[in-house]
Each structure stands twice: as C-alpha cells, then as structure tokens.
Structure 1
C-alpha cells in the first residue's frame, strides 16, 4: 500500500480541475514499478505490477482512476520502446516516451547527489522527466500496423544478413589456417562461402587431403546437389585442378580436428543463409503493400530490401520529424558543430540511428551507378578533397532530404528536379 501522506486519493484529485498527470514506469523483465505525479511534482500514486495481463489491467485501471480517457490520455515515460507493455500503452492516442536509460540516470542526479537508486525511485524520476521536459523528448511515432510489421521484418533480415556475414568471416578465417585451396576454389564465385556449391563441397571434403581425392564424378554430384544446372563439367574440372595442386598442410590429426570445426561452423552458416533468404522473401512480400513503397522505390539505388529498411527506420508517421534536418540528424548524415570559447570543430555524428546510417551508405553507393546526378555530386565532393566515406555521407545527406520532401508531398523521385544541373551542383553543407 502507498503511504497516505504521499498519495492524493482519486476522489480528491477529481475536484482539482486543470491538473496534469504524468506517469513513469521503471521497466524490468518480470515486474514494473509505476509512479504518477501531478504538475506540481506531488506523488499521487505508485504501484508494483507484474509483466502479464493481470499487471497490465492494474496499470490501466490505475490510469483510469486518475482521469485517463481516450480523449485525454495520461502520457507515459518508460525506458524501452518494445514489448507487450508498450504495445498495450500505445493503444489509442496515448503518448509513450521511450527515455534513454543513460538520460534517465542523468535526471536521477538532479534529485539526489548520493547516487542512491531504487526501482520505485526510477519510476518517479521518469514521471518527473515528462513533467519538466516533455517538450524536449519525442514520443514513439504513430506508425501504422503495416509499417511496424515491415519494421520487424526488415530489421530481422538486416540482423540475419549481418549474422551471416559474421559467420562467413569466421569460416574464412578458419579455412586460411589449414585449407587455402578451398578459398582459391570458391574465389571465382560471388559470395563464395555463402553459396550452396561451397557448402556441398565442404561437406564432401572438410579437409584438403579429402578434397584432393575427389573425382570428377563426385565434384559434379556435389555441384548438382547444390542446384547447379550449367557449367558443371567445366567447374568440376577447375575445382579438381585447384584441390590437387601443391598446398601446405597441417599435421593429419590437427587437420582432421579443424575439419570437424569447419563442419560445425558450416551448420551455423547454412542456418544463417536460410534465415536471411526467408526473411528477404517476407520483406519483398510485405513492403510493396505499403503506400509509401512506390515513392521510396522511385529513388535510384533503393530496391526492396534497402527501401524496406529505410521505411522501417523512418516510419510512416508524417509528424515524426519537424523538417528534413530532423531526419538527417536522426540518420547521422548531417555534420555536428562543437564549439567552446574560440575553438570550434565540425565532425560527423556519433549519436544516431545506426541501422539507418548503415542503410544510407549502401544507398549512396548504389545511387552513384543508378543516377547521373548522384554520381556527379559524389565526384564533385571527391574532387574537393573528401574521402570516399565522407562523400558518400554527404550524398546520403542530400538524398535523405529529397526523400523527406517526396514523402511529405506524395511525389516520386525526379532526376531533373533532384539534380537540375549535374555540372554545377551546389554542394550541401
């Protein structure tokens, strides 16, 4: 129970018209602490709820007791933007603010210099953040259900792609230790270690000694199991020559042990490749159904995967960013100025949406070959002394502003409008 001296009853509160209420929730894995304060900073109520349907009902009933309605919901601050609790709170028109835990820790120091900490105290700190500085924080965007579903799929596919590359790098590093002939054999193939042909060959011969014994028939059978239909005989002959060339070898026992490690890594790589491919298919199925897909795909360099990742990070809430500068800062493409006294420096941003920033570099790289104006802009930046990454970032900064404009006004990308005179481009700051 809440101490009587700390809590104003709902009946008393109902007669205080014009009082604003703020809610803070200290999120945890199994339980949550809730605090309600009014606009004077007085603690009205606090609860300890469980992370289940019963706990969510207690929370909603508590909010309703203190005046929460569909027309005038109580804003909520919480340290996460995901999970079932957030999904319940986002029902309707409620503003939910995801406060960075590091920012919340700084606010905690405003109330106590002893660095004491408790979960109920953190909930009170979060509520007071909204009471004093709600204007300085952005609520979670009001994206559509389809947009949020695409966000889940696009991020999962991006994670699967990164995971696949990480395991591929581990396998490549392992093969360099004892099996360089495999790397030489797979080198002519694009994404060699991620291809099914490479997987079947490594299963058939996880060590260079066994690979040198493979016959033409066995090599052709491995390629056929991988789904190859053309060039099988020529590739089998090339592989046989590579595997039977002179290579250095580890001791036999060490080589066999490394071969078993390779097979274990190969299982992980196959699972990662399958996950990435299946999620890519899911993205390509869901993304075209979104109303913004047509505009996003009209931009040079943006296909289904990159376009879906772009939509996943910027969302479809048109009021999320006040202007194009907000989107550029969120993506980390615009520079940041640090000034103190007579010293000032202009550098790239470190605090940003890392997923969106990663998409930006891929988008800029692809647009260079797909758009004459983008290529001219990139070349102009390089000629003025920018490094490759800096020129790419500047191009991404320019095109993200164009994307913001097109989404706000419902226009498709127009090369003539975006880059009216490639030979006299105005370089964005």
Structure 2
C-alpha cells in the first residue's frame, strides 16, 4: 500500500510517498499550476495509481483546484487540520524542526498509521457543492451587510441622531432602501431640516414603497425637524461626505446579499433533497440551503445519527476524570450548521405542536432557552438523518407521537 502526503502552499506544494513500512519512496516539489498537477498525477501513476486502486492522499486543506483534481475518480482525499498535523510532527522528534518536505512526509505517515481514525473528504455531487458555495457566500454577505449597517448606525449616533429616530419604527432600518435613499438625499441634519413632504414622498417612491407614503413622509419630516444636539457646521459637512461613502458600501453589501440569496434558493430547490428538508417545520429555502450545504449528499459520510449530532454540535459531550463528571455542550463543531440549527429549532416552535411541546418539557425540567433549543435541534437533526437515509419526508405524528398526545 502506498500513501501520499501533500504539504500545501500558495505557489508550490511538496509531495511525499511512503509504503507500509514507512520507507520514503519519492519526494517532489510541484508548482501550483496545470503543469505541476500533471507532474503529481504522473508520479502517482508511476507508483501504481490506477482508477480501480487509487493512492490515498493526505493534505492540510479541503478546498482549491488541487483538491478538486485529486478528489476525482473515487480517490480518497483526507483533509487534516494543521494543528493536528503539528501534533503528529512532534511524534517524530523533540527538536521542533520543521520543513515543507518534512511536513509532506508527516502527512503521508498519518495515513499509514492512523488512516482508520480520519475521515476522507465527502464524495458530494457537484450540484450540492454549488449549493454550499452559494449558501455560505450568502451568509457571509449577510454578515457583511450587518457589519456595514452597524458602522453607519455608529456614525449617525455621533452627529445625526434624528435619522435613527426617524427610522426606528422599521425592522433592520438601515438595510432598507427607504432609509438609504433619504440619507443620500439629506446626509446632514441641516439638509434634513429643509426637506419637504413632497421630497420625502418622492424618495420613498424611488425606494420602492407603495403604501402609506404620505403619512410616513409627514412622520419622518416631523422627526427630522425636531430639537437635537448638533455638531459644528463644518464638521457636519465632513461627516456627511463620510456617510455617503459608507452608504455606497452598504448599498453594495445589500445588493450582493439579495442576489446571492436568490441564487442560493434557486440552486437549493433544484436539488433532490430539498423536498425532504422543506418538509420539516421551520425550514425555508435559505435555511434549507445552509443545512444542505453543511450536510452534503454523500449518504456514507456519517456512520449514524450520533455522528451527525456530534458534527452539528447538538449532542452533549462528557468529561469524566476520577470523581469529576461534567456533561456540557460541544465546543468543536461545524459552526455554520450549529447556527442554522438554532434558527431552525426556534422557527419550529410556532410551526410544530410536537416541537413546541418538546421545548416546553425541556424548560420545565430546568433547561435555559438556549439549552432547550439545542436539545430540540438534537432531536430534529436525528430525524432529518433518518429521512435522508430512507428518502422520506417529515411526518409530525411519527416525529413527536408522545408530545402530540400530551398536547392534545
């Protein structure tokens, strides 16, 4: 048996091949381009790589063109965390020496000795990988949009509190097009105090508002002309220019988040597993895309439901030593899936009588709100595992039989 280790870098990669006895058979440095990839594939073929018996590869990343090339044809590619690889390096010497060819040899030996305790990169279809890219990008864009909104809000507090009061009745106000349109029209309190109701009505219409325009414009005009503390006129003008620059960035963040949300929902609905995910209470298109992105569609990825629960961070972890015994929440987990699980379980409370009854029972037993939601997520993700394996949709009476009986 031959094992391959690849020490990944930005411009080049170091490759090492070892056999079952730990003998170094070959080492090579390749460039991060098409020619370098061909050199690597030729090297693997030289040492017995074939479509029916591919050589397994160990590398410190799970993304990139090199990983995509190696993952083709049924080859098992193992992505090892760099921190774990550093611990393996210490097994071979105490001098703490380090080199790229040496790291490649360490990675190859990880497969030789401990391949059974590591999992290869899931064999997901290109369709679900596309959903993962769009769902994660949409989530990142949403976080970026909120960060830009917080920057605008912080700046308005320094010189323009009237704008915050004028938009306070709206949900997530600074991300709404009406607020950004009015701020572009009047980036300073002096200009805002001169706005007429007709100008405000026109701004609301340009932003896409269709109802209650006259009343909303009158309310905003009254607030903007209220009595507020002011900065010096020169300072107000300078901060108004800074606000316009931030608004350009916020506009781009809002546009990107909305565009990626549409693309992620479209890609998710085209996937066969979307029917099962959407059958669960509290799961919509965006949330379903995030869950599918982290689970993938490789049915052999998780050995059982317990493995999936541990991966999602919903299953508790036990730390016991002597007379000490502690059961707490899991810290090492898939953070994106865990975040989606919190939203999923919270939304399910109003969509499922059984989920609500289960949550209430946990609260009566002494769980806090977050612990009750985590326990509900732990149960529902186990149900999702069963449905995906069996190809069945969610059924309330089978998922929560006892809870529904108690609720009735």
TM-score between the two structures when normalised by the length of structure 1: 0.93
Question: What CA deviation, in whole Å up to 9, does each residue of 1:394-427 have, x standing for no partner?
Answer: 11111000000000001100011111122678xx
Take 1:142 and 1:241, find their aligned partners in 2: how far apart are those partners? 60
Instruction: Name the SS of the counterpart of 1:32 in structure 2.
Output: strand
Secondary structure at the counterpart of residue 297 of structure 2: coil
Partner of residue 204, structure 2: 223
1:216 to partner: Cα distance: 0.8
> How far off is 1:166 after superposition?
1.2
Map 1:284-363; keep pairs closer than 5 Å: 284-363=265-344
Q: Which runs of 5+ in 1 are unaligned?
A: 1-19
Aligned to 2:224: 243
Residue 166 (1) aligns with residue 174 (2) = no
Match of 1:417 in 2: 398
Runs of 4+ in 1 over 6 A off after TM superposition: none
- The aligned runs of 1:261-300 (5 Å cut-off) are 261-300=242-281
Q: Show the 5 A alignment for 1:199-214.
A: 199-214=180-195
Structure 1 SS opposite 2:372: helix
Could you give the per-residue CA deviations for residues 93-146 of structure 1, whole angstroms, max 9, x where no partner exists? 100000000000000000011111000000000000000000110000000110
Instruction: Identify which of 88, 104, 112 aligns with 2:69.
Output: 88
Report Cα offsets for 1:128-183 as digits up to 9, x if no partner: 00000001100000001101111111111111111111111121122122222111
Structure 1 residue corresponding to 2:369, chosen from 381, 388, 404: 388
> What is the number of equivalent residue pairs in this alignment?
406
1:309-341: CA deviations, max 9, x gaps? 100001000000000111111111111111122
- Asked if the contact 2:132/2:294 (under 8 Å) is kept, the reply is yes
Distance (Å, rounded) in 1 between the aligned partners of 2:402 and 2:197: 58
Question: Is 1:47 the equivalent of 2:1?
Answer: no
How far apart are residue 58 of structure 1 and its match? 0.2
1:42-63, Cα deviation, whole Å (9 max, x unpaired): 0000000000000000000000
Tell me what 1:379 maps to: 360
Paired residue for 1:370?
351
Cα drift, residue 237 of structure 1? 0.4
Which of residues 404, 416, 420 is equivalent to 2:385? Answer: 404
Between the aligned partners of 1:127 and 1:349, the Cα distance in structure 2 is: 30
Cα drift, residue 65 of structure 1: 0.2
Range with bigger deviation, 213-222 or 249-258: 249-258
Deviations 1:356-394 (A, max 9, x none): 111011111111111111111111212222111111111
Structure 2: gaps of 5 or more residues:
none
CA contact (8 A) 2:353 2:404 kept: no
Give the deviation of 1:288 after TM superposition.
1.1
Aligned twin of 2:97: 116
State the superposition RMSD in angstroms.
Answer: 1.1
Aligned to 2:165: 184
In the other structure, the counterpart of 1:5 is none
Q: CA contact under 8 A between 2:397 and 2:404: conserved in structure 1?
A: no
- Rounded Cα–Cα distance in structure 1 between residues aligned with 2:156 and 2:377: 37
**Quick one: distance in 1 between partners of 2:33 and 2:382?**
42
Q: Which residue of 2 aligns with 1:6?
A: none
| Secondary structure, counterpart of 2:350 in structure 1 | helix
- Determine helix, strand or coil for the equivalent of 1:239: helix
**Counterparts of 1:224 and 1:51 in 2: how far apart (Å)?**
52
Report the TM-score, using the length of structure 2 for normalisation: 0.98
SS of structure 2 residue aligned to 1:228: coil
Q: Can you list the C-alpha shifts for 1:201-248, whole angstroms capped at 9, x where unaligned?
A: 010111222111111111111111111222111111010011011111
CA distance in 1, matches of 2:151, 2:329: 31
Q: Measure, in 2, the Cα distance between the counterparts of 1:38 and 1:296.
A: 44
**Displacement after TM superposition at 1:88 (Å):** 0.5
CA distance in 1, matches of 2:170, 2:128: 36
Kindly provide the CA deviation profile for residues 178-202 of structure 1, in whole angstroms up to 9, marking residues without a partner as x: 2221111111122211010011001
Counterparts of 1:123-162 in structure 2, within 5 Å, are 123-162=104-143
